[in-house]
Structure 1
Amino acid sequence: MTAMWRSGWQTRVADALLALVLLGFGLLATGLAGDNQPGSRQVDTVCRLLIAVAALALCVRRRVPVVTLAVVTVATSTYLLIGYPYGPVLLAFLVAVYSVAVRLPVRPAALAAGAAFVLLLAHVFFSRGPAPGWTGVLPASAWVVVPFAVGVVVRVTREAAARTRVEQARDRAEQARRQADEERLRIAQEVHDVVGHGLAAISMQADIALHLLPKRPEQAEVALTAISRTSREALDELRVTLGAVRRGAERGPVPGLARLPALRDRLAGAGLTVEVRVVGDPRELPAAVDLAAYRVVQEALTNVLRHAGVARAEVTVGYRPDEVTVEVTDRGAGATRAGLDPADDESGHGLAGMRERVTALGGRLTAGPPPDGGFRVYACLPVGSAP
C-alpha cells in the first residue's frame, strides 16, 4: 500500500511539473511566435488565460484523460479561432491526445481523439486570423495522429511487457513447483532406501532369533545384537537425512560405493553372504553418481534378502574411463519376482525408484532373470555427464 501511494504521489508531482513547464514555456514563447506570424492577433490577457487553462489541465491527465483532452481541446480551439498565433499551446494538446491513447483502450481513445480533431479543425475555416482552409487540414491532423500513434504503441508495449512479466512469474512458480516435487521424490527415495533396507535386515534377523531362541539361545543373542546394530545404523542415517531436509541443505557426506564393505557386513549378520568384486581401477566419482550406484546395490540386495530365498549374492563394480557399472546377481527365485516388490513399484520406489535414479543421471538400468536362472540387476552410469 505504501509503495502504491508513493507511486501515485510521484506521478501527480510529475504531471504538475509538466503542466508548469508548458505553462511557463507558453507564456514566454507565444509572443515570439506571434512576431513571426503576420496577421495573427496580439497576445493579451485572454490569450494567456487560454494557455494557462490548456497547460494546467494536464495536472489530471492520468486520472481523467478524456476530461483533460476535452478541456485542452476547447481551450486550444478557442485560442486558434480567436486568431492567436500558432505556438506552444499546441504542445498541451499533443500531450492530452497522447495521454488518452496511452491510458484508454484503442476504440474509446480513437473516438475521443477523433472528436478532438473535428473540434480543432474549426479554426482551419473560421479563424479570425489567417485561415489556411483545406491546406491546413493535413498539418492539423498531424497534431492528433502522431501523438495518438505514439500513445497506442507505448500502451501495447507496456501491455506486452506486463504479460511477459506475468508469464515469467507463472513459469518461475511452475519451476519452483517442479523442483519441490522432485525434492519430495528424492527425499522419499532416500527414506525408502534407508528404512526399507534396515527393516528388511531386521526382519530377517528377527526370524533367525525366533527360530534359534528355544533351542540355541546363545546363537539367538548374535542375531539380536545384529538387530540392535542394524536398527541403530538405519536410525542414524535417517536422522542425518531428515536433519538435512530441515536445514534445507544437501547432506555433507553421502553414502557411496566406499560403504559397500559395511553394507556387506550388515547383510552378513542378516544371513545373506555378499561377494563384492571390483573390475578396473577404483577412483573418486561425482557425488550424485556415487550415491546412485550405492543405492542401486543397496536396493537390489534388499530385494534379494526379501524375495530371493537364497543365502548368497554377488556384486560387481566396474570402473571404466567414462562410466561406472554395478551388477547384482543371485541364484534365487528370479522368475517369480516380476517387478520385485509390487507395492514398492506402485508407490514409485523399488525397481521404479532405482530406474528413476539411474535415468536421471543419463544412465540405464536393466533388471530381470538371466537365461541361467536367478535374478540380475545391472546399472550403467556415465561419469562425464553427471551433474
Structure 2
Amino acid sequence: MFRRLTTSQLVADVAIAAICVLLRSALIGYQTSPMPLIVLGMGAALALRRASPVLALVVAWVFALGQMLTMQSPDISNAAILAVLYATARYGEGWVKWAGLVSAISGAFISTAYAVSTPYTGLATSGGISVGVLLSGIPNLLFGAGVGLTAALAVLGLSWTAGLLVKTRVTANVSRQSQLAAEQVVVVEQERNRIARDMHDVVAHSLAVVIAQADGARYARATDPGAVDDALTTISTTAREALADVRVLLGQLRHSQDVGPQPVLADLDRLVEQLRSSGLLVALEERGEPLILPTGKQLALYRIVQEALTNALRHGDVEREVSVVIDWSVDAAALTITNAVAAPATDAHVGHGLAGMRERALLVGGTFSAGPEGGSFVVRAGIPVLVAA
C-alpha cells in the first residue's frame, strides 16, 4: 500500500500539504462550519499522494463526499483532488491506476450533479420553489449540467492523463536505459571476443613462424651456418612484432587507445614474405581492379589471410605451394586460400582459428566457408564493399 520514498520526498510532501492547509485556513470565516475539517482532510490526501496513492484517493473521496453531504460550496482546497488523481496514474500500479480513472469520471458526474442541484435544494428546503418554476428551469438546468460536466471531465480527466503520460515517459526512459546497459554489456563482450581473436592470431602466427625457423636452423646448423643467422634474425623480428601486438591488445584491455596502427591490405606483401622466410611457399595473386575498403574490412581480410597461412604452416604440406587469390569484383572482394593437406590428414584446422575467421567475415557483412576439397584445404571469404541494409 505504501511506496518507498526518500526522506527528502516525505518531508517535501508533508511540507507542501501543511503550507496549503495553513494558507487556506486563513481564509475560512466560520470556525463552526465543517470546512476546517474538510481542508485538513484534503491536506492529508495531498500529503499521502506519493506515499500511498490508493489511501490518498480514499481520503479524498471521504472528505469530498462529506463536503457535499454537508452542503458546502466548492473550495480551493478541492484542488488537492487533482493532485491525487495525477498521483494514482503516475505512481499507482495495476487496479490503483484504473481506480483513479474511474474516480475522475464518476467524480465529474457527482460534482456536476451536486453543483447543479444545490440551488434547487436550497429553495426546496426553504419552501420557496414551485412546480412551475422547477419545470421552467429545466432547459437552463440541462445546459448548465452539460457545460459543468464537460468542464469537470476535462479538468479531472486531464489530471489523471497527465500522470499517465509522465509515467509512460519515465517507464520508457528506464526501459531505454536498461536497453543501453544491455547493449553496453554486449559491446564489451564483443570487444573481449575481438581481442581474444586478435591475441590468438598474433600469438599463433608468431609462434608458428618461430617454431618453423627454429627447426630449420637446427637442421641447417651443420650444413649451412649462414642459414642459422637468417633464421635467428627472423625469429627475433617475429618475436618483437608479436610483443608489440600483444602490448597493443593489453592496452585495449586497459581501455586505452591503440599504440600502433592495425594492419591493412598493403601489409599483405610483408606478411607473405615473412611466411616465405619461414619455409612456406606462398603465391599471392590479385585479380581485377582493387577496391577501396574501410579499415575494418581490410583488417578482416588481413587477419583471415594471416590465420589461414598460419594454419597451412602448422598443419599443411609445407613442400607444396599455398595459393592466395583476391578476386576483386565491382562490389566485393572474394578471397580464396588453398593449401595442400599433410598426410595423414587431420582435423587440426578446426578450432579457435576457423571460428575467429568466420566471425571476422560475418561481422563485416561477408561470407565464409572452409573445409577439405580433394587433397587440399580451402578457405573462402567474401567481403562486400557495402553491407546490405
TM-score per shorter chain, which class? Answer: 0.7 to 0.9
Change (3 A) 1:112 1:210: same
Superposition deviation, residue 187 in structure 1? 0.9
Secondary structure of the 1:317 match is strand
Residue 62 (structure 2) pairs with residue 60 (structure 1): no
Secondary structure of the 2:122 match is coil
Secondary structure of the 1:130 match is helix
In structure 2, distance between residues paired with 1:166 and 1:150? 24
**For residues 238-257 of structure 1, what are the structure 2 equivalents within 5 Å?**
238-249=246-257, 253-257=261-265
Residue 381 (structure 2) pairs with residue 379 (structure 1): yes
**For residues 1-387 of structure 1, what are the structure 2 equivalents within 5 Å?**
4=6, 11-12=13-14, 15=17, 45-46=30-31, 50-55=34-39, 57-64=41-48, 65=56, 66-67=58-59, 69-71=61-63, 73-75=65-67, 77-80=69-72, 86=73, 88-89=74-75, 91-93=76-78, 95-96=80-81, 99=84, 102-103=87-88, 105=96, 129-131=122-124, 152-213=160-221, 217-249=225-257, 253-282=261-290, 284-311=292-319, 312-333=321-342, 336-338=345-347, 340-342=348-350, 344=351, 349-371=352-374, 373-385=375-387
Alignment correspondent of 1:34: none
Superposition deviation, residue 376 in structure 1? 2.2
In structure 2, distance between residues paired with 1:119 and 1:258? 82
- Alignment-mate amino acid for residue 242 of structure 1: L
Change (3 A) 1:269 1:380: same
Change (3 A) 1:208 1:110: closer
Superposition deviation, residue 247 in structure 1? 3.2
- Unpaired runs of 5+ residues, structure 2, are 49-55, 126-133
Note the alpha carbon deviations across 1:353-385, whole angstroms, 9 max, x for none. Answer: 1111112212112323345x3222222211133
TM-score by length of 1: 0.72
Note the alpha carbon deviations across 1:328-375, whole angstroms, 9 max, x for none. Answer: 22233399254x533x2xxxx21121111112212112323345x322
State whether residues 98 and 148 of structure 1, in contact with CA within 8 Å, keep that contact through their aligned partners in structure 2.
no
Q: Which deviates more, 14-23 or 354-363?
A: 14-23
Q: Which deviates more, 8-17 or 250-259?
A: 8-17
State whether residues 101 and 151 of structure 1, in contact with CA within 8 Å, keep that contact through their aligned partners in structure 2.
yes
Change (3 A) 1:379 1:4: same
In structure 1, distance between residues paired with 2:113 and 2:34? 18
Alignment correspondent of 2:51: none
In structure 1, distance between residues paired with 2:267 and 2:111? 89
Superposition deviation, residue 76 in structure 1? 5.1
State whether residues 85 and 160 of structure 2, in contact with CA within 8 Å, keep that contact through their aligned partners in structure 1.
no
Superposition deviation, residue 306 in structure 1? 0.6
In structure 1, distance between residues paired with 2:373 and 2:279? 24
Change (3 A) 1:359 1:337: farther
Note the alpha carbon deviations across 1:149-178, whole angstroms, 9 max, x for none. Answer: 555545544544444333323222221121
Superposition deviation, residue 202 in structure 1? 1.2
In structure 1, distance between residues paired with 2:266 and 2:191? 25
> Number of aligned pairs?
353
State whether residues 17 and 47 of structure 2, in contact with CA within 8 Å, keep that contact through their aligned partners in structure 1.
no
Superposition deviation, residue 225 in structure 1? 2.6
Note the alpha carbon deviations across 1:68-100, whole angstroms, 9 max, x for none. Answer: 5534543553353xxxxx4x42x5346337616
Superposition deviation, residue 280 in structure 1? 2.9
In structure 2, distance between residues paired with 1:274 and 1:254? 23
- Unpaired runs of 5+ residues, structure 1, are 28-43, 81-85
Change (3 A) 1:13 1:321: farther
Q: Which deviates more, 164-173 or 351-360?
A: 164-173
- Alignment-mate amino acid for residue 287 of structure 1: T
State whether residues 275 and 314 of structure 1, in contact with CA within 8 Å, keep that contact through their aligned partners in structure 2.
yes
- Alignment-mate amino acid for residue 78 of structure 1: T
In structure 2, distance between residues paired with 1:332 and 1:110? 76
Change (3 A) 1:229 1:55: same
Change (3 A) 1:334 1:50: farther
In structure 2, distance between residues paired with 1:232 and 1:106? 68
Change (3 A) 1:265 1:129: same
In structure 2, distance between residues paired with 1:231 and 1:110? 73
Superposition deviation, residue 146 in structure 1? 7.1
What's the C-alpha RMSD, in Å, of the aligned pairs?
4.4
In structure 2, distance between residues paired with 1:118 and 1:323? 73
TM-score by length of 2: 0.72
- Alignment-mate amino acid for residue 345 of structure 2: T
